[in-house]
Amino acid sequence: SSQPSVSPGELSLPSIHPAKSELIVSVGDEIRLLCTDPGFVKWTFEILGQLSEKTNPEWITEKAEATNTGNYTCTNKGGLSSSIYVFVRDPEKLFLIDLPLYGKEENDTLVRCPLTDPEVTNYSLTGCEGKPLPKDLTFVADPKAGITIRNVKREYHRLCLHCSANQKGKSMLSKKFTLKVRAAIKAVPVVSVSKTSYLLREGEEFAVTCLIKDVSSSVDSMWIKENSQ
């Protein structure tokens, strides 16, 4: 059977050296990444939503720090890219932290505490001051992104927690996070006024009360005056 042919001008994925999906170095070591592609455009580094770019095919960091942990992507002129994730082990900083922590009721939310060392165990969440987490709280851990809390409940509002992991037999805790939950809108607010119309003489005092009933307690209100003929 015939094989599909590749035209000479067709772009292929950039080649990265070292040729692996992950690289682990120690703090103070050199990071040296080489992207080989005839149509090389740039390197992009990303961690915790922060981006930086370089237009040299060789990315060199002479003395790596924990904050150099992240995803390094090489892109060519055809828009094709290859990536390598670098972990920079730092005995003083196991977690990279991005505060504050917000969540929306009935949605997932990410506790942003990616690891600088993937070779730890029991990467999870722990309540502050030894307090247990809610029994119905479930989460999924990703060393490169953090820990995703599934289906946030309103009762989790102001929940204090840490990311935690065991490193070489020692229990490690991140800085504390305080979860702030935004309530889901389950019904539209009900608005009423004490009286819908008044007949007044000029100069008489006028007062009316507006009552708003809402389950989320996060409603802003204002009065709007409309002139009638």
- What is the pLDDT, as a whole number, of residue 7? 43
Question: Which tokens is 93 given?
Answer: 């900083």
Residues 174 and 115 in one domain: yes
Based on the fold, state whether residues 21 and 77 are members of the same structural domain.
yes
User: 47 with 107, same domain?
Assistant: no
Q: Which range is least confidently modeled, 2-11, 30-39, 88-97?
A: 2-11
45 in a structural domain: yes
Burial class of residue 80 (count of CB atoms within 10 Å of its CB; 0-12, 13-18, 19+):
middle
The residue segments making up the domain with residue 110 are 101-182
d(CA 139, CA 164): 13
pTM for the whole thing?
Answer: 0.77
> Do 84 and 105 lie in a common domain?
no
Domain end: 89, 112, 131, which one? 89
Same domain, 51 and 116: no
Place 165 in a pLDDT band, splitting at 50, 70 and 90: very high
With tokens 């770019």, the residue in question is 53
Q: Residue 225: which residues within 8 A CB-CB, separation 6 or more?
A: none
Confidence of residue 215 (pLDDT cuts 50, 70, 90): low
Burial 24-51 (b: 16+ CB within 10 A, else e): bbebeeebebebebeebbbbbbebeeee
**What are the structure tokens assigned to 111, written together?**
């506790």
pLDDT tens-digit series, residues 26-44: 999 999 999 999 999 999 9
67 and 140 both lie in a single domain: no
Whether residue 100 is predicted with pLDDT greater than 50 in this model: the reply is yes
CATH of the domain at 51: 2.60.40.10
Do 62 and 131 share a domain, yes or no? no
Over pLDDT 70: what percentage of the chain?
A: 92
Averaged confidence pLDDT in the chain? 90
pLDDT at 162 over 60: yes
* Number of domains forming the structure of the chain: 2
Could you say which of 58, 89, 120 is where a domain stops?
89
